[in-house]
Amino acid sequence: MLEATGLECVRGHRRLFTGLHCKLESGDLLQIHGENGAGKTSLLRLLCGLSLPEAGEVRWNGAPLAGNRPDFHRAAAYLGHRTSLSGDLSALENLRTARALSGRGAEISCTEALRRMGLGDCLRLPCRALSAGQRQRAAIAGLLLRPGGVWLLDEPATALDQHAIRQLGDIIQAQAAGGGMVVFTSHRELAAGGAPVRQLHLADFQ
Amino acid sequence: MTAASTPAACAALLRRDLTIAWRRRGEILHPLLFFVIVSALFAFAAGPDPALLAVAAPAVIWVGALLATLLALPRVFADDHRDGVLEQLLLSPHPPTLLVLARTLTHWLLSGAPLVVVAPLLAEVLGLPREAWPALLAGLLMGTPALSLVGAVGAALTLAARGGGVLLALLMLPLSVPILIFGAGAVRAAVLGGDAGAPLLLLGAFLLLALALAPATIVAALRASLN
């Protein structure tokens, strides 16, 4: 269970949001809405512990994040604007390193995850040779290795084509069906059908 | 589901970093060539006096090693910061201190270790007496990892700063003074027939201190840079 209470985020001299509450339990999907610069990315970074809130706290299974990092990080996967792929390594090598760092053994292999995302033909190409959409697909393939727990996805549909966006929706739904949680930001409707997607508008917390 | 162990994660990170270095192998030789050229410049500037060169050799080699170490430092975390890999390192369930230690080890393997290997060559060129070689090599073997650790702290601190490269040098070079004093001091003592043991022990103590303090400092600095 991921729970945020009274979160306040200040960037520079601007207060982005304050008194923000949200709570996710097994199988919950949450979409964060806000204008450009409203603090969607900042909220995701607070939720995954990359940055610290001005006020309030984030709790994982009832314990504050700060004292519970290894447990939380074993269960959480963060996909940011930057895809965490090194351009000099192939998608396969990148995924293998990510899996070793994630501290989780996955049921499916890295090759299988990349094949599912339609990258079977470019497993061994250096990532800098891939298009932006292909890199995003590779990053999403990384999520397939970490089912369950909580996924924090920052604009996961960036640069994806229609087919891949539908696939991403299915993957998010499958994560919820498997008892996992997903928090994501997007300007479009993702993951329609299946489990309901709760909506959080940052404008409500200003 | 089996959890991958921490040593395996560190090994995977090390293997990844070395693979990337090998893909860019043109750059592997840069610190080494820089080291040789800086040392040769000293020799050219000092003139063809063997006695003078032999006396200056410890200082020349140690300052050269210091500057060569500095050369690759801005890259220790910068590429991963750009790609977003650094965030994943901090979000790993494994102790981040061990992961940054693995990263620092890569820096040493690529910039410090080659210097230790070519140091005898430079010592020969500069006419450093053979009896001082053990002190030189032992000093470099302990001093260059300490330089990598101190440098990685600087690299982490200056990650988010503009003009970070110059700031990194200004930050790291003063902190490296003890390493320089004990390292070059040990060689000088060996040349003069004195006791090189004491400065070498102090250098070893400095390395242990850096090993104990640097990783946690690096992690704190990285968290602050990414906040």
pLDDT at B1: 36
Neighbouring CB atoms inside 10 A of B25's CB total 8
User: Can you state the percent helix, strand and coil of chain B, rounding each to 5?
Assistant: 85, 0, 15
pLDDT at B4: 61
Minimal C-alpha gap between A68 and chain B (Å): 10
Contact A58, A45 (CB under 8 A): no
Do residue A80 and residue B2 have CB atoms under 8 angstroms apart? no
Minimal C-alpha gap between A91 and chain B (Å): 12
Global ipTM: 0.91
Q: How far apart are CA A195 and CA A110, in angstroms?
A: 27
* Alpha carbon of residue A10 to chain centroid: 22
Cβ within 8 Å of residue B61, ≥6 positions away? B39, B119, B122, B123, B126, B128, B136, B140, B184, B187
This prediction's pTM: 0.92
Cross-strand pairs, A78: A152
What residues in chain A have per-residue pLDDT under 50? none
Q: How far apart are CA A58 and CA B181, in angstroms?
A: 48
Residue of A nearest to B219 (CA): A50
pLDDT at A190: 85
Reading chain B (227 residues) residue by residue, the pLDDT tens digits are 345 689 999 999 999 999 999 999 988 889 999 999 998 898 888 888 888 888 889 999 999 999 999 988 988 999 999 999 999 999 999 999 999 999 999 999 999 999 999 999 999 988 899 999 999 999 999 999 999 999 999 999 999 888 778 899 999 999 999 999 999 999 999 998 888 999 999 999 999 999 999 999 999 999 999 88
pLDDT at A50: 93
Cβ within 8 Å of residue B187, ≥6 positions away? B57, B58, B61, B62, B128, B132, B135, B136, B139, B196
pLDDT at B134: 94
Residue of A nearest to B90 (CA): A50
Neighbouring CB atoms inside 10 A of B165's CB total 16
Q: How far apart are CA B161 and CA B120, in angstroms?
A: 38
Give B118-168 pLDDT, tens digit per residue: 999 999 988 899 999 999 999 999 999 999 999 999 999 999 888 778 899
pLDDT at B199: 95
CA distances to A140, A141, A176, B117 from A167, in Å: 10, 11, 14, 53
DSSP B108: I
A interface residues, B as partner, C-beta within 8 Å? 48-52, 69-71, 73-74, 76, 78, 80-89, 93, 96-107, 126
Short-list B211, B28, B202, B52, CA closest to B115: B28
Bridge-based pairing state of the strands A63-64 and A76-79? unpaired
Of A51, A88, A99, the CB nearest to B20: A88
